[in-house]
Chains A and B, each alone.
Chain A
Amino acid sequence: MAAMFQGVGAAAALSSLHSNSFDSKNFLFSPRRSFSVRKAPSFVVVRSDGTMNLDLNPEGRRAQQFIANAVATKEDISAASSSKPGHELLLFEALREGLEEEMERDPRVCVMGEDVGHYGGSYKVTKGLATKFGDLRVLDTPIAENSFTGMGIGAAMTGLRPVVEGMNMGFLLLAFNQISNNCGMLHYTSGGQFTIPIVIRGPGGVGRQLGAEHSQRLESYLLPIPGIQMVACSTPYNAKGLMKAAIRSENPVILFEHVLLYNLKERIPDEDYICNLEEAEMVRPGEHVTILTYSRMRYHVMQAAKTLVNKGYDPEVIDIRSLKPFDLYTIGNSVKKTHRVLIVEECMRTGGIGASLTAAITENFHDYLDAPIICLSSQDVPTPYAGTLEEWTVVQPAQIVAAVEQLCQ
């Protein structure tokens, strides 16, 4: 595997938000601000409700004009930070918090992966856990994905609850044998005798010029495997909630994280909570069109939503979160209300999550559709290294706006 380096997430989030991925005209902060003159280390933070502010530098915070959206998370947008309940943290810290809480709660929960222990995880999700729980509970494995994933499955069959980390989701292609043949199947082929309460997680998706092999979206490759569940987190709130739910689930769950989302900041509750693995998340209720999305594309959609609202549209945005199975109740209710569906995903066009979702919606809710479903996906190309080309492989907010306009004609 190619060398992974920490901090790539932060840098990537910073630069992508600054330049290409977000249409900077629609943001109310000055693009001329130079980040290099900051004294304290700071980074651009995108809040889970799609708003953005600059961190650690109060003078730089501009008055944001927020579109008055109801948001599914428990955010109070305008209140002062000190009196709000809960605590603020970044997405990777939320994942760690969820993992740590589950490890404290149940001694059978353990972590296996490359550099999860002493190094703290290449994205710092497991930082500090090895010191706290020991080298056996936070196991640094040799570089042998197929075998240590299989080892996790064997451990799960015999009573442990392992969390297997793929340093990058793409590396789990080497574990495909174990994930497909054993992870999904053994509960069935053993006639229900063995359960496999394993969580397989890791960052995937198109990052910031990471090259083709580090920019893969495995959700479409793993989707047809029977016997597994797949969820994708997109905010610190649902990252922690899904991590905890996945660990507690008796089914094998694959948790997809995104390389560019690790530094999202959000205020999350102090109390124990989980996010239901099978449910979708209503991000922004609306009337005109249903936009279904997940993971990083949620932010492109919310970016486009601002433009759309300014143009007079009222989009309903749903983060499907559960990639397998689909929450057809939430999705169906939305389709029945708006009659128009746009799917925005980062998967490639062929055989992606969107393709499957289109089929499911057409089968179940055909009568409610006033227009054909539009599915915006990434191009069917290996992700190029060049920044401009990479930008064109994934869906950008402008395309989302155009698609909604086309749908609502």
Chain B
Amino acid sequence: MNGASCAAKISTQPFSLNPTSPTSHDNPLVSPKPTSLFLGSTRKLRLSSSSKLNLHRRSGTVVAVSDVVKQKKSKSTPSLLITKEEGLELYEDMILGRAFEDMCAQMYYRGKMFGFVHLYNGQEAVSTGFIKLLKQQDSVVSTYRDHVHALSKGVPARAVMSELFGKTTGCCRGQGGSMHMFSREHNLLGGFAFIGEGIPVATGAAFTSKYKREVLKEADCDHVTLAFFGDGTCNNGQFFECLNMAALWKLPIVFVVENNLWAIGMSHLRATSDPQIYKKGPAFGMPGIHVDGMDVLKVREVAKEAIGRARRGEGPTLVECETYRFRGHSLADPDELRDPGSHLNPFFSQVQKCHLIQCRAASLAAEKAHYAARDPITALKKYLIENSLASEADLKAIDKKIDEVVEDAVEFADESPVPSRSQLLENVFADPKGFGIGPDGRYRCEDPKFTEGTAHV
């Protein structure tokens, strides 16, 4: 793992694609009148593009994606990217994510949690690499694969596990579930079940940050928002609409694509005309970066630059993290399409199956093995030990500590009460007058028997 010079290379080249001056209109203390602030694109319309076109034919296999950004090995002694404390923090966060998700799987099959549960195993480097750089006031918006984003942002494991068990002590009082993790305290703005629908919400949070600085004159407000979403989402309209608006208004947001190559059973290559997602950033006027999402230090370096850009008011960045999920799409997904030995693949006729499965089997097996060998936790562990940042004993101590945290979370969730009937109608409205006026002239919410009733109006 040599992230130092590679990360530096990534950050300089694509950023220069943005021709606008970074500080042209972001100094609220100087601008005299609101209307003099031009809110919009300052790019000139060019008839012929002078940018370099990628004329190489796209390879059909997966390996080509990671080769897009060539790594230059540093000749000199590599300076370490992290201190010991940082290293241990990153390790602990990734171990927490992994252990928690493994426990979720156990609990699911034991009937403690239900519905759709999407696990993050294998992708920990992205969550840890980005979120550990944030302040508490920065916001994170996620998707249904949100447990580990919540944990990285600081939501206690107890609160997340209780939520998954549907208990009233969960972070959302048991009302959200696996796909709707929220935390006001930690500025986790969800948890969304439909892909893409969190991206506009993230754009709104970034808009608020800019509004606070420029309209409300909170000059030190530099809150950044991170929007996490997958490769499948990058074909959705909301993605493109928000790239446009974020770049147009230079919103302090980073769009983080967790490209794990599969959208349930749909391979990214079968769904996307140009699978190189990072290239879509410059089309909207923001830098697009591709990074190895299995390497937490590389992700962290890129994240530093992208988050820094946003904080300085220079606008959004699109970061594509190449990563992989070791498990199926959800705990209900038998993961047979990626399983080389499956005979249940419905897309092949009997005749085709034997031939095609053999060919596909080879490449799918290679894919899984390829990423398993790049387990981000194993890689970080190796880095820490090889660079004498931590000993085996240190890391084992962390493993043990996290095991206890996760066990404690399960215990806590088990012992927590389930929501009572009276909780059903709370939180439908922030102002319960919204339930209206009943036939007796009183607001329904004032009726003490209201909680036993129904919510229809």
Q: Give me the interface of A with B, judged by CB distance under 8 Å.
A: 107-108, 110, 130-131, 133-137, 139-142, 144, 146-160, 177-178, 181-182, 186-197, 226-227, 229, 249-251, 277-279, 322, 324-330, 332, 360, 364-365
Contacts and interface: CB of A to CB of B under 8 A. Distances in A.
A155 B204 contact: yes
Contacts of A190: 172, 175-176, 180, 182, 184, 190-191
B379 interface: no
A325 B435 contact: yes
A136 B182 contact: no
A146 B237 CA distance: 9
Contact of B427 (A141, A192, A278): A192
Given A136-B210, A147-B245, A279-B437, 10 more contacts: A136-B214, A144-B245, A146-B241, A148-B245, A150-B204, A154-B202, A157-B201, A178-B200, A191-B182, A328-B437
B184 A251 contact: no
Nearest to A138: B34
Interface residues of B, number: 70
Interface stretch (B79-87, B341-349, B439-447): B439-447
B208 A158 contact: yes
10 contacts: A135-B37, A142-B244, A150-B203, A153-B204, A159-B208, A177-B194, A192-B430, A195-B430, A251-B431, A329-B441
B358 to A, nearest CB: 42
A251 B430 contact: yes
A135 to B, nearest CB: 4
Contacts of B58: none
A325 B438 CA distance: 10
A154 B194 contact: no
B140 interface: no
B34 A278 contact: no
A54 to B, nearest CB: 39
Contacts of B426: 192
Interface string B207-241: 11111101110000000000000000000011001
Given A137-B215, A279-B437, A329-B439, A157 B173 contact: no
Contact of A250 (B174, B189, B431, B444): B431
Contacts of B199: 147, 150
A158 B189 contact: yes
B170 interface: yes
Interface string B7-46: 0000000000000000000000000011101110000000
B149 to A, nearest CB: 15
B152 interface: no
A160 B192 CA distance: 21
B184 A194 contact: yes
A103 to B, nearest CB: 11
Contacts of B436: 278, 322, 324-328
| In the A-B complex, the 7 residue pairs with the closest CB atoms | A154-B204, A134-B34, A150-B200, A325-B436, A325-B457, A191-B173, A190-B182
A147 B34 CA distance: 25
B139 interface: yes
B183 interface: yes
Given A134-B215, A144-B244, A147-B241, A365 B439 contact: yes
Contacts of A194: 182, 184, 189
A325 B194 CA distance: 28
Interface in B412-457: 426-431, 433-441, 443-444, 455, 457
A192 B176 CA distance: 10
A107 B441 CA distance: 35
A227 B457 CA distance: 11
